[in-house]
């Protein structure tokens, strides 16, 4: 009797766990039955308590600085022309525009478009611009300086990245392409740096980037004989005869044997945007880190900023040879739980936001967050003599005060810009708009009422019993995102009578990318992660976390950032009765899992709020699983199997009827299904696991796309050079048909540590997927 009871309990528990996969046995162990619809009618979800945010609202919002101005195509930089009332914007693909600095300006004038270069196929090639700087005496000489790449497809050219001077003519500025004077060149490849500014001393400063692939594989960050990983300082106004520029006599390494005399500072991986404080003259920059940290530095003459011995304050490759001067510390650093790709800003000296006067304002490309701080010297130096000594010391004698978040945005903040009056703007790379900060309207602080336990969210009638609240709908997907062996259970919570606009989100338009669903305000997407503590045994399964993705609708249109998604993680207790809200920094948990006869340790990651934004991006239409291609499949609704799209249409969840029968609509193949051709399975895996970053505007800085909607030849991966190092593989390409051992994409998903993909959200190799990609490449012609 006891044995039979145990067997019965085990069967019931196993059936409940198997239901995670969407199509399994029905209620009571009966075989599921097929019906036209899985749900007969809609039950409104009325119990939501997911309102607002667990953090206090930021003090600033953002607004279009020039509401009538048309959007720019992938803008990268912005500056003003001294002596005029014009602002200049540089676009990524070889265009520069200017416009009058007036709030109601409604047009931008094209000042430059690079044309004429041909690729290896003889087709016209777009030539990237990285940055622009305008001469302080522009009103007299009309000089503009541009960092660009004339031959973008040829990595490692001895003369690839280039700083050129052009002359601007006319009241409506036009840049004379024929006036080009080449100032400085260095090989392109890897990080190209690119930012350039005139300093208060009249010299021009240029960042080169480390250009060395992942982890500074050439070890040139500390090497003064290499031009890479450096900030240069040159004199373009007083060049010697026959030269494009002069070397300032007070440059710090002019007398150092073997050093490039142009070097002003070094050990900089990718100083993405630096600026001079227009009053104090100090030089500030945002340094993009590699693995864990993003930094803000106050750059000093001769300064060594550590790369690649250090990453900020933290050892990276401490065994590597150091440069001749001490390694200096950042004034501020952010871990990758907050920031992912810092964009340096400016010390604010405008009149519009007086409370920010003297504060350094900067942001992050990946998360869209804007922060500020004010720096101070340590107070132990009190006499004028001591203060003079201090200013010659390292910036470890500086510290940040009033370090705080100013605004949260959905924009890709690629650059900040100043105008002649010191007012501050930022550039949205994806949307092409120019924005500014504005004081936020006073709103009720919802943080104190935000649910701190999963049981308080209104999503579950009982967390202990894993019972959903009325109106919350379970769903499943065709191609799952890898989660380090975690099993997943998914739910869709649409408030009240809200409806979904099927495939109505088309912005931003990216080649091959399918449209997204438009959700009503207050939508919550729910996903619970559980782990088999004995690998392959569902009886040992424990819930680890439940993630919420919460949608807030803003006024306006999708092009103007009308939607905002916030991600939250609730961590389950050991008793499996409830889950607690994790703080915004995220966390880790060491799991001990039985695999065969061994017990292994697995370091499981609970994502931070910022980490959630890295995959759930504007370019990916935010919701990765709740899409037509993922949802077009059968699901088990408690013993009834039916197509999900037809079911959701039947209960009135869509604003309009399906465009066709689901059998005729697009769907992702299940890459685990061995009956499906290898090509389709591999492409489906890359689409579901990688394309939210590897897409135009997705944040992945490798120039290729992995959407299933594109032909293989259009992905930009076959026989294409890697942009971030070859990982020690001879003749490496992203994919070499027939040779997975030479293919970087296969290597990256088959490794752990530095260079692994995905670089967030996973720490364990998906062995089955690695084999799938191997076989796919092996079979390519």
Q: Which residue has the higher pLDDT, 319 or 385?
A: 319
Q: Supply the DSSP symbol for 468.
A: E
- 555 near 541, Cβ under 8 Å? no
Question: What average pLDDT does the chain have?
Answer: 89
For residue 315, pLDDT over 70 is answered with yes
pLDDT in tens, 16-69: 444 444 444 444 567 899 999 999 999 999 999 999 889 888 999 999 999 999
For residue 501, pLDDT over 70 is answered with yes
Q: What mean pLDDT is predicted for residues 686-708?
A: 82
The whole-model pTM stands at 0.72
Q: What mean pLDDT is predicted for residues 652-661?
A: 97
pLDDT in tens, 602-642: 999 999 887 887 788 777 888 999 999 999 999 999 999 99
pLDDT at residue 118 in the model: 67
Distance CA 251, CA 478 (A): 60
Q: Which residue has the higher pLDDT, 352 or 120?
A: 352
**Residue 245 CB-density burial (10 A; 0-12 exposed, 13-18 middle, 19+ buried):** buried
Share of the chain above pLDDT 90, in %: 71
Poorest-pLDDT segment among 54-58, 235-239, 434-438: 54-58
Confidence at 282, pLDDT banded by 50, 70, 90: very high
Question: What is the bridge-based pairing of β-strands 516-518 and 33-34?
Answer: unpaired
Confidence at 725, pLDDT banded by 50, 70, 90: confident
For residue 354, pLDDT over 90 is answered with yes
Poorest-pLDDT segment among 205-209, 387-391, 613-617, 635-639: 387-391
For residue 692, pLDDT over 80 is answered with yes
Confidence at 377, pLDDT banded by 50, 70, 90: low
Burial 320-352 (b: 16+ CB within 10 A, else e): eeebebebbbbbbbbbbbbbbbbbbbbbbbbee
- Number of C-beta neighbours around residue 771 at 10 A: 13
Q: Supply the DSSP symbol for 251.
A: -
Highest mean predicted confidence (pLDDT) among 105-119, 333-347, 452-466:
452-466
pLDDT at residue 388 in the model: 52
Q: Quick one: tokens of 414?
A: 């690629």
| Residue 3 CA neighbour count, 13 Å, CB half | 0
pLDDT at residue 294 in the model: 94
pLDDT at residue 555 in the model: 65
For residue 153, pLDDT over 90 is answered with no
């Amino acid at each position: 009797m006891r044995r039979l009871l145990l067997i019965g309990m085990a069967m019931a528990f196993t059936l409940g766990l198997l239901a995670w996969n969407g199509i399994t046995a029905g209620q009571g162990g009966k075989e599921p039955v097929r019906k036209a619809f899985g749900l007969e009618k809609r039950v409104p979800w009325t119990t939501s308590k997911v309102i607002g945010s667990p953090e206090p609202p930021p003090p600033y919002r953002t607004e279009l600085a020039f509401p009538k101005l048309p959007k720019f195509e992938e803008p990268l930089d912005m500056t003003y022309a001294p002596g005029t009332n014009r602002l200049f914007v540089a676009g990524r693909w070889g265009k520069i525009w200017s416009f009058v600095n007036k709030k109601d300006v409604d047009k931008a004038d094209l000042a430059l478009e690079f044309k004429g270069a041909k690729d290896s196929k003889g087709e016209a090639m777009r030539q990237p611009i990285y940055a622009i700087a305008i001469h302080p005496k522009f009103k007299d000489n009309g000089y503009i300086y541009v960092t660009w790449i004339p031959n973008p497809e040829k990595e490692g050219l001895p003369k690839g990245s280039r700083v050129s001077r052009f002359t601007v003519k006319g009241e409506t500025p036009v840049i004379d392409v024929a006036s080009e004077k080449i100032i400085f060149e260095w090989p392109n490849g890897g990080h190209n740096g690119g930012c350039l500014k005139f300093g208060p001393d009249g010299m021009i400063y240029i960042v080169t980037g480390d250009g060395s692939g992942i982890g500074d594989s050439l070890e040139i960050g500390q090497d003064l004989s290499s031009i890479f990983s450096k900030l240069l300082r040159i004199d373009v106004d007083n060049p010697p005869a026959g030269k494009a520029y002069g070397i300032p006599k007070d440059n710090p390494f002019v007398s150092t044997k073997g050093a490039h005399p142009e070097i002003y500072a070094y050990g900089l991986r990718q100083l993405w945007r630096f600026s001079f404080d227009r009053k104090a003259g100090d030089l500030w920059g945002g340094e993009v880190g590699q693995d864990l940290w993003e930094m803000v530095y106050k750059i000093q003459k001769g300064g060594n900023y550590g790369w690649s011995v250090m990453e900020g304050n933290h050892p990276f490759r401490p065994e590597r040879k150091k440069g001749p001067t001490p390694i200096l510390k950042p004034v501020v650093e952010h871990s990758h739980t907050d920031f992912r790709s810092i964009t340096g800003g400016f010390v604010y000296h405008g009149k519009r936001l007086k409370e920010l006067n003297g504060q350094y304002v900067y942001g992050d490309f990946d998360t869209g967050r804007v922060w500020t701080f004010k720096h101070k010297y340590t107070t132990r130096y009190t006499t004028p003599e001591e203060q003079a000594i201090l200013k010659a010391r390292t910036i470890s004698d500086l510290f940040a005060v009033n370090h705080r978040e100013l605004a949260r945005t959905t924009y890709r903040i690629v650059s900040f810009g100043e105008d002649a009056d010191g007012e501050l703007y930022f550039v949205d790379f994806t949307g092409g708009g120019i924005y500014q900060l504005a004081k936020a309207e006073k709103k009720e602080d919802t943080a104190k009422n935000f649910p701190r336990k999963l049981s308080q969210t209104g999503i579950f009638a009982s967390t202990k019993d894993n019972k959903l609240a009325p109106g919350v709908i379970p769903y499943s997907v065709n191609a799952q995102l890898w989660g380090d062996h975690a099993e997943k259970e998914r739910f869709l919570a649409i408030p009240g009578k809200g409806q979904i606009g099927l495939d109505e989100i088309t912005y931003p338009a990216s080649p091959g990318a399918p449209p997204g669903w438009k959700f009503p305000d207050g939508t919550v997407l729910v996903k619970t992660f559980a782990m088999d503590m004995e690998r392959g045994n569902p009886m040992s399964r424990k819930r680890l976390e439940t993630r919420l993705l919460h949608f807030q609708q803003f006024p306006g249109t999708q092009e103007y950032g009308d939607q905002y998604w916030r991600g939250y993680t609730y961590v389950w207790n050991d008793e499996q009765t409830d889950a607690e809200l994790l703080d915004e920094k995220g966390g880790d948990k060491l799991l001990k899992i039985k695999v065969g006869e061994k017990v292994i340790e697995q370091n499981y990651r609970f994502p931070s709020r910022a980490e959630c934004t890295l995959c759930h991006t504007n370019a990916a239409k935010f919701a990765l699983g709740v899409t037509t291609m993922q949802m077009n499949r059968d699901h088990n609704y408690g013993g009834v199997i039916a197509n999900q799209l037809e079911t959701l249409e039947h209960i009135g969840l869509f604003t309009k009827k399906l465009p066709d029968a689901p059998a005729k609509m697009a769907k992702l193949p299940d890459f685990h299904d061995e009956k499906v051709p290898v090509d389709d399975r591999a492409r489906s895996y890359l689409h579901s696991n990688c394309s939210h970053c590897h897409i135009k505007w997705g944040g992945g800085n490798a120039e290729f796309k992995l959407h299933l909607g594109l032909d293989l030849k259009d992905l930009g991966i076959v026989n294409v050079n890697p942009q971030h190092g070859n990982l020690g593989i001879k003749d490496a390409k992203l994919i070499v048909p027939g040779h997975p051992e030479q293919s970087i994409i296969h290597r990256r998903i088959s490794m752990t540590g530095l260079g692994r993909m995905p670089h967030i959200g996973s720490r364990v190799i998906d062995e089955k997927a690695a084999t799938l990609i191997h076989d796919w490449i092996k079979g390519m012609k």
